[in-house]
């Protein structure tokens, strides 16, 4: 029985799991999101959060620890220079897991694991809006009108033009 066993059963040897997780963390940092099974995503979340925490510290020792695990120096450089500084005010929870449903071939539960938005993006989205400001309201209305005008001025896509031609062709044949 597996009472109080906190590991995820992935069905591989420990060395295989370690190398698989290292490659998955590198892919996650490089691309920002990956699709994998739910069990691997849950295990990957623990490792990815640990690597980002090392990147936030930013010392030579933590850089060497990250290189020892991930084995890809260029990806570790991206982690320390681009990804980790974006999470400097966040205490944890750098990744998000979104369930996708079963895989067609073997019905394994699939999931998307992705990095959450960095602090600068979240702060930019949370701009304070004054309720009494009429100038802000008029500016918002102008942006809405401009976006509607752009939609009207947008050129017709090739697929839409083909549909119009195909509708006119039967009328000419009559």
Best CA proximity match to 19, nearest among 62, 64, 69: 69
In a domain, 53, yes or no: yes
- The strand pairing partners of 98, in sequence order, are 112
In the three-class reduction of DSSP (H, G, I as helix; E, B as strand; rest coil), residue 88 is classed as coil
CA distances from 147 to 2, 141, 156 (A): 58, 10, 16
Q: 116 with 152, same domain?
A: no
Kindly state the tokens that stand for 43.
Answer: 């295990």
Q: 107 with 146, same domain?
A: no
Instruction: Work out the pLDDT band at 139, boundaries 50, 70, 90.
Output: low
Task: Tell me what pLDDT residue 144 has.
Answer: 57
Q: Which residue has the higher pLDDT, 5 or 38?
A: 38
Kindly state the tokens that stand for 124.
Answer: 């930019």
> 79-101, pLDDT tens digit by residue?
999 999 999 889 999 999 999 99
Q: 79 with 22, same domain?
A: yes
In a domain, 66, yes or no: yes
What is the domain count for the chain? Answer: 2
Instruction: Work out the pLDDT band at 120, boundaries 50, 70, 90.
Output: confident
Its pTM stands at 0.68
In what helix (H) or strand (E) does residue 61 lie, and over which residues does it extend? helix 60-70
Instruction: Work out the pLDDT band at 164, boundaries 50, 70, 90.
Output: very low
- Domain range spanning residue 24? 14-125
Kindly state the tokens that stand for 87.
Answer: 């999470």
Distance between CA 50 and CA 45 in Å, rounded? 9
């Amino acid at each position: 029985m597996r009472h109080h066993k906190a590991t995820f059963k992935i069905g591989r040897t420990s060395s295989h799991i370690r190398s698989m997780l290292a490659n998955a963390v590198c892919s996650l940092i490089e691309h920002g999101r990956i699709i994998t099974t739910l069990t691997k995503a849950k295990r990957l979340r623990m490792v990815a959060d640990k690597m980002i925490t090392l990147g936030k510290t930013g010392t030579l020792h933590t850089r060497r620890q990250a290189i020892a695990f991930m084995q890809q120096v260029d990806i570790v450089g991206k982690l320390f220079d681009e990804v980790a500084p974006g999470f400097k005010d966040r205490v944890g929870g750098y990744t998000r897991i979104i369930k996708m449903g079963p895989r067609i071939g073997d019905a394994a539960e699939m999931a998307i694991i992705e990095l959450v938005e960095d602090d600068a993006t979240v702060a930019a989205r949370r701009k304070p809006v004054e309720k009494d400001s009429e100038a802000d309201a008029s500016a918002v209305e102008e942006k809405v009108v401009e976006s509607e005008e752009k939609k009207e001025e947008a050129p017709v896509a090739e697929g839409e033009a083909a549909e119009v031609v195909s509708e006119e062709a039967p009328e000419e044949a009559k």
